[in-house]
């Protein structure tokens, strides 16, 4: 009898928690720059990244990554590459479903940027508590680095 009562209490507690869970709407985005950047004109579609002139390799070039849809919105970054090295990662669009999402991004995005520049790749660890942001960031960054030929 005790096991049945304990099972019923646990079931109701779990059901109550499930019913009070608030999911986040998808599709909300925020542009960190105010407008979306178009791909850098210094990299023409007719020229592959490996065949750039020496002058083009010496100056910083921005490569825009694909927008990646996550459960909490779209994440898009652009990689700034100079002499074959990542020198900066700029957030063009970030997940945004309210104040909590802003708080998560404010914590995670600087860590992801630092890790990407240090690693010189999109292969960065997921920031705890920001799984969707981290995954979207890494995928968008990888698409930018693919355009750069890195």
Rounded Cα distance between 45 and 147, Å, is 10
Residue (of 143, 150, 148) closest to 49 by Cα position: 148
Contacting residues for 48 by C-beta, under 8 A, at least 6 apart:
149
How many percent of the chain have pLDDT more than 70? 65
- pLDDT at position 88 is 96
Distance of alpha carbon 114 from alpha carbon 96, whole angstroms: 21
- Using one digit for the tens of pLDDT, what is the confidence trace for 93-125? 998 888 888 899 999 999 999 999 999 999 999
Q: Among the listed ranges 3-7, 13-17, 36-40, which one has the minimum average pLDDT value?
A: 36-40
The whole-number pLDDT of residue 4 equals 72
Distance CA 22, CA 70 (A): 17
CA distances from 70 to 8, 25, 107 (A): 36, 11, 18
Q: How many helices (H) and strands (E) does the chain have?
A: 4, 5
* Distant-in-sequence, close-in-space partners of 125: CB < 8 Å, separation ≥ 6: 115, 134
Distance CA 119, CA 16 (A): 44
The rounded mean pLDDT for the chain is 77
Instruction: Tell me the sheet residues that pair with 86.
Output: 81
């Amino acid at each position: 009898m005790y096991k049945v009562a304990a099972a019923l209490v646990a079931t109701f507690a779990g059901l109550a928690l499930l019913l009070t869970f608030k999911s986040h709407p998808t599709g909300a985005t925020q542009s960190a720059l105010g407008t979306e950047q178009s791909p850098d004109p210094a990299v023409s579609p007719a020229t592959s990244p490996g065949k750039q002139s020496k002058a083009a390799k010496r100056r910083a070039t921005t490569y825009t990554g694909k927008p990646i849809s996550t459960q909490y919105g779209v994440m898009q970054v652009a990689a700034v590459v100079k002499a074959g090295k990542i020198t900066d990662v700029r957030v063009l669009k970030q997940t945004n479903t309210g104040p909590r999402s802003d708080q998560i991004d404010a914590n995670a995005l600087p860590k992801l940027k630092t890790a990407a520049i240090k690693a010189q790749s999109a292969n960065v660890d997921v920031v705890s508590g920001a799984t969707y942001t981290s995954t979207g960031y890494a995928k968008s960054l990888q698409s930018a680095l693919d355009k750069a030929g890195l």
